[in-house]
Amino acid sequence: MTGARILIVDDDELLCEMLASLFRMSGYEVTVAHDGEAGLTKLAAEGADLIVLDLVMPKMDGLRFLRILPERIAQPPRVIVASASATPEMDKKLGQAEIAAVVRKPVKPALLLATVAEALEKPTGG
Amino acid sequence: MAVAPSKILDAVKGDRDARWAFLIALGIAAIVALLNYASFLTASDGLLLDAGNRASEPTAPKVVVVDPGTQDPAGNFELLERLAETARNLGAVRIGLYSANAPGALPESPSVPLTFGLAELGRVPSADDRIDYAAARIAAADHGISRRQTPSFASANGAIPSFETALAGRLAAKDYFVRMPREQNIPVVSLAQVLANDFHADDFEGMVMIVAPGRDLTEAHLSTPLSKDGARTPASLFSAYAVQSLLDRSEIYAATPWTAFAAILALTLAVAAAMTAFEPKRALAPVLFLGVLSALLAAYLALSFANLLLPITAMIVAIIMAAVGLLLFSEVRQDRRLAAILERAIAMAFGNSPYDAQTEPGRHLTEAAERIGLHHSLVLSVPHSGPASVLGAFRADQDDMPSERTLRLIAADRKDSATSIERPTDWNGEVHSALLSSDDPALVWLYSAPAEGKAPHPAEHAHNIAAAIRQTHEWRNDLSTGARRARRKRPIDAQLASAASLITARSDRIAAGLDGLETAAMIFHLGGFPVHANAQMEALARQAGLTPHGTNLLKTLTALSDFSADHLSELLSAIIRDGVEIRIPAKDFGGLQRILRVAPMLKGTHDIIILEAVDITEQNRLAQQRSAVGNFVDKQLRNDLEVIELGAEIGQASAGEGSHVKEIFFNLSETVQRAIGRLEEVADFLNDTGTSAANVCYPLDARKVVDEALEKVAPFAAEFDVSIETALPGISGFTMAEPKSLLATCEAMLRIVIADTPHGGRVKARLTEELDGTVIEVSGGFGIPFERLMAALDSRSEEVPEEYRALASGFKDVARWQGLSSYWSAVGQGLRFNVKMRRIG
């Protein structure tokens, strides 16, 4: 599903740039936000087909972002959580959120791209 | 004071001192008995005899004394015959008459038997068995008092019975004491009355009639127990008492030497038993009192019922000698034991200690002089004869020594003042001198100190050091082996006082040293009772609700740890059995974490168990810091490396797409720069470890800290019926702080606001993480005037609630972490506290 729009929400600017390059090379359109609040704003303004979300962020962390997302956006896009904090304990917290996949950092480009492709092909849960 | 005989025997068998005590008692008994036998102690016996004698019970008179007036029946045949006839009619059984010699004309077969007491000793055979001759002689007086009579007297013609023996018709066994009761009735009648037959027929029934000497014989008058103040008892009356005694069989005999010895021995042994059974000094007075009382009672009973005169003086002397002698013996033994203790005390005080600073005063004082800030110092050895020498010098040399005369004065302790000592040319400040030891050689310290300065002044330090050394020297000299002969001349208690002072001074210094340790330590006897605790342990024990002096090992461990008494008891058994030490975690007291180390030191009679409470808060903090730094490195540096890795992989995958590759390598370069920057941050954290603990902060999870604070205040909030509304991030980044201090700060903020919130009210706690900072905000409550809040946070007074002091301290820590804190309050609008710290990563 090339041409799909991916929103990267991560406070690590360099990583954002790196992921954005990876996704653009694969034909995706990419927008970037560096905290949860900014991510929600961009999503509301520009929309996205998929969100690649970090968990540890200032202002609004990933968990809060996931909790608020369905409240702010009527049909939220799928979310791939990419975080070094994606531990089994965190998985339990994430269990209730509507997420497509969890990718633990370090992110392997091929795996991430495959996961993104897979997530974009799945129909949204609404 | 009653002591069972079996106990005495057991004591004698098992106790060397007791055996000696009884031997001493035996010796004293023998000595006193010999003195008594040699009549050294009998003078006062007579006095006691007289007292008892006079108090004796009287008996019915068996003797009547006839005063012949101007007549002399012994030399008048007719008168004698009439007297005998009348006496027979009156019932008399015998008549005794005094005569210079045997009368020439005597009635044949007189009506009653006649006994002539002859002044001249000479055996006179009697032609008639109703006429008898005896010796009218009184035994020599004892110390001026006639109280004794002899049953018979030796003469050239053999033993002649005494007048009294002959009249009583009973030969006494030996010399006897005449019983002379004060109340005894010895009738005295005149011859004229008898001859006139003025009496009833049986008035003299069964009585012996003694006719006093006639006109031609001057009758002797004696001092007797009844007339001790003068010779007022006629010899005939004394004889009458003697005859009465013999007829009553109440004459008194002196105890034989063996009886006397037995009586004395019995008493001295009893004294020995009492003095052995009880502490001699305490027993002395009761023993003397009861001993003397017993002796007097025994003497009285013997006199009254056995007609026996006990050597009462000797008995009392023996009691006193035995009691005092045994006390002295006990004192000597005690002194010997104390001397043995003293030897040990000496050894303990300085003999066996390798830590004896007295051995090199020159070196020690020279180093001390520099340490305490003296200008100059000179330690000198000044022999009683010969030149003085320098033992140690600080900014001084031999040329700075004062004159020989001055040194001698100081050494003789006749000059201790600095003012008159000639000042060495290059010395500045006030010059002082101190005599450290007056031995030979004497030890003298000359020093100079700044004239003025802030307290404590170097001169004060020097004075105190000198006083301590001199005192110690004096004590040591009292006890030193070299002065053993001199020691013998000094009372043992004075020597012990020196030893005790020396040991006490050493103990005080050791105790002060133990108090200075950071570790709380307590020493227990193997039996579990406390021996010593340093100040830190005493404070810790009090925090745990213990009284250090009234506790024991098990109780202390139970109070200081979370282990059960049963479990600890098993652990203690194991460490004593195996001689190993254990370490168990202590409860948290005063926010400090400790490990309890229990170590047995088994050395025979000095078995002890040491309990240490080692503060591991700092170690824990460092471990936590290491963990946090490690975590930071793991999370953040790993992140950077992962970005690099990702970039490298993307680079490989996009080979040929020039613009992307350029962009990716630019990002890689940026990431590498950032990774280096983070390594620098890590280096900063590690460097912080070596600085003051108070300033140390490191990356931590602020949410965890706030969670813990909320958990800690939850019961407090429940007590006030206050709910806490929280706004916390689901996951937290890295905040620069020190967790203990941040926890205490959060807890203090929460407690202050909760305490100010009405029942049913709500307190807000918010943790917000910004890009560059983490903010903790606590608000709520009714509010107090801002000035009051500010004053409470500024005050160091103990009266200010602990939470305000903790918060003030926490705010200072936040500033040290390069953070910010603020507070606000208004009556009716509530309180608000804000803490902002750096956020990194």
DSSP B706-731: HHHHHHHHHHHHHHHT-EEEEE--SS
Closest Cα in chain B, distance from residue A40 (Å): 16
A59, A63, A108: residue with CB nearest B730:
A63
* B660/A109 Cβ within 8 A: no
Given CB atoms, is A59 within the 8 Å cutoff of chain B? yes
pLDDT of residue A33: 93
Instruction: Give the residue extent of every domain in chain A.
Output: 5-119
Which one of A19, A58, A109 has the shortest CB-CB distance to B733? A58
Task: Please state the ipTM of this predicted complex.
Answer: 0.71
Q: Which residues of A touch B670 (CB under 8 A)?
A: 14
Q: What is the gyration radius of the CA atoms in chain A, in angstroms?
A: 13
Would you call B777 an interface residue with chain A, using a CB distance cutoff of 8 Å?
A: no
Nearest beta carbon to residue B643 from set A15, A59, A63: A15
- Nearest chain B alpha carbon to A106: B642
8 Å CB contact of A90 and B674: no
| CA distance linking residue B401 with residue B422, whole number of Å | 9
Q: CATH number for the A5-119 domain, one of 3.30.420.40, 3.40.1210.10, 3.40.50.970, 3.40.50.2300?
A: 3.40.50.2300
What is the pLDDT, as a whole number, of residue B690? 46
- Taking every pair of Cα atoms in chain B, the longest distance, rounded to a whole number of angstroms, is 191
Residue B801: what are its φ and ψ, rounded to 5°? -55, 150
What does the DSSP assignment read for B496-523?
HHHHHHHHHHHHHHHHHHHHHSSSEEEE
For residue A49, the distance in angstroms to the closest alpha carbon of chain B comes to: 23
In the block, which residue shows the tokens 């507070």?
Answer: B823
- Quickly count: other Cβ atoms within 10 Å of residue B610's Cβ: 16
Please give the residue of chain A at the shortest CA–CA distance from B775: A59
CA distance B211 to B244: 15
Q: Which chain B residues touch A84 with a CB distance below 8 Å?
A: 635, 638-639, 642
The secondary structure of residue B151, as a DSSP letter, is: S
8 Å CB contact of A17 and B657: no
Distances (CA, A) of B685 to B139, B260, B521, B691, B769: 121, 101, 34, 10, 21
User: Using CB atoms and an 8 Å cut-off, which of residues 649-668 of chain B contact chain A?
Assistant: 649-650, 653-654, 657, 660, 663-664, 667
* B651 vs A contacts (CB less than 8 Å): none
A106 interface with B at CB cutoff 8 Å: yes
Q: Distance (Å) from the C-alpha of residue A22 to the closest C-alpha of chain B?
A: 6
Token readout for B78 is 């007719």
pLDDT of residue B692: 47
Q: Give per-residue pLDDT as tens, A70-100.
A: 888 888 898 998 877 666 666 666 665 678 8
Which amino acid, residue B302?
A
According to DSSP, residue B565 is labeled H
Residues in chain B within 8 Å Cβ distance of A18: 643, 646-647, 650, 664, 667, 671
> What is the reported pLDDT for B747?
94
Nearest in space to A35 (alpha carbons), one of A9, A8, A73, A72: A9
The C-alpha atoms of residue B250 and residue B56 are separated, in whole angstroms, by 10
SS3 B831: strand
Nearest CB to B770; choose among A24, A59, A90 = A59
Chain A positions touching B769 (Cβ under 8 A) are: 58-59, 61
Could you tell me which residues come within 8 angstroms of residue B215 by beta carbon, excluding any fewer than 6 positions away? B68, B70, B71, B72
Alpha helix (H) residue ranges in B308-419: 312-346, 361-372, 404-411
CB contact under 8 A, B650 and A56: no
Q: Which CATH architecture has domain B697-840?
A: 2-Layer Sandwich (3.30)
Residues in A closer than 8 angstroms to B655, CB to CB, are: none
Q: Closest Cα of chain B to A60: distance in Å?
A: 7
Name the residue among A24, A59, A62 with its Cβ closest to that of B731: A62
Radius of gyration of chain B (CA): 55
Task: Answer whether A55 sits within 8 Å of B645, measured CB to CB.
Answer: no
A56 touches chain B (CB under 8 A): yes
- Please tell me if the domain spanning B517-615 has the same topology as the one spanning B697-840: no
- Three-class secondary structure of residue B231 per DSSP: coil
In this prediction, what percent of chain B has a pLDDT beyond 90? 10
Interchain contact B347–A (C-beta under 8 A) = no
Cross-chain Cβ contact B649/A106 below 8 Å? no
In DSSP terms, B584 is beta-bridged to B596
B652 to chain A, minimum CA–CA distance in Å? 11
Residue whose structure tokens are 């102690």: B41
Mean pLDDT, chain A, integer: 83
Query: Contact A57/B768, CB-based, under 8 Å?
Result: no
Where does B420-483 have alpha helices with state H? 458-479
CB contact under 8 A, B650 and A18: yes
The H or E element that residue A23 is part of is: helix A13-25
B130 neighbors B113 (Cβ within 8 angstroms): yes
Contact assignment for B730 to A93 by CB distance below 8 Å: yes
Q: Please answer whether residues B825 and B831 qualify as being in contact, where contact means their C-beta atoms are separated by less than 8 angstroms.
A: yes
Given this model, what pLDDT does residue B776 score? Answer: 95
| Contact (Cβ atoms closer than 8 angstroms) between residue B643 and residue A18 | yes
Cβ of B731 within 8 Å of Cβ of A55? The answer is yes
> Which phi-psi region, left, alpha or beta, contains residue B812 (left: φ > 0; alpha: ψ -120 to 50)?
alpha
A6 band by pLDDT with thresholds 50, 70 and 90:
very high
A44 touches chain B (CB under 8 A): no
Whether A107 has its CB under 8 Å from any CB of chain B: the answer is yes
Which positions in chain A touch B664 (Cβ < 8 Å)? 18, 21
Report, as ranges of residue numbers, the positions in chain B whose pLDDT lies below 70. Answer: 1-17, 38-41, 43, 102, 121-128, 215-217, 345-359, 414-421, 453-456, 476, 478-492, 603-606, 634-635, 638, 652-660, 662, 679-696, 841
**Residues in chain A within 8 Å Cβ distance of B654:** 21, 25
Amino acid at residue number B512: A
Domain B361-507, CATH number (from 3.30.450, 1.10.1060, 1.10.3470, 2.60.40): 3.30.450
Measured in angstroms, the CA of A51 and the nearest CA of chain B are apart by 19
Q: Least CB-CB distance to B642: which of A25, A63, A105?
A: A105
What are B413-428's pLDDT values in tens digits? Answer: 766 554 466 778 788 8
Interface membership of A36 toward B (CB under 8 Å): no
Quote the pLDDT of residue A9: 94
pLDDT for the residue numbered B123: 61
Task: Determine contact: B205 vs chain A, CB below 8 A.
Answer: no
Exposed, middle or buried: residue B355 (CB in 10 Å: 0-12, 13-18, 19+)?
Answer: exposed
Q: How deeply is B403 buried, as exposed, middle or buried, from its count of CB atoms within 10 A (0-12, 13-18, 19+)?
A: exposed
Chains A–B, number of C-beta pairs less than 8 Å apart = 92
Q: What is the pLDDT of residue B10?
A: 61
Q: Which residues contact B616 (CB under 8 A, 6 or more apart)?
A: B593, B594, B595
Question: Does A104 contact B at CB distance below 8 Å?
Answer: no
Residue B1: the pLDDT is 44
Interface contact A59-B771, CB threshold 8 A: yes
| Amino acid letter, residue B250 | S
Q: Is B127 on the interface with A (CB under 8 A)?
A: no
Class of B517-615 in CATH: alpha beta
Domain segments of chain B as ranges = 5-51+256-333, 60-249, 361-507, 517-615, 619-694, 697-840
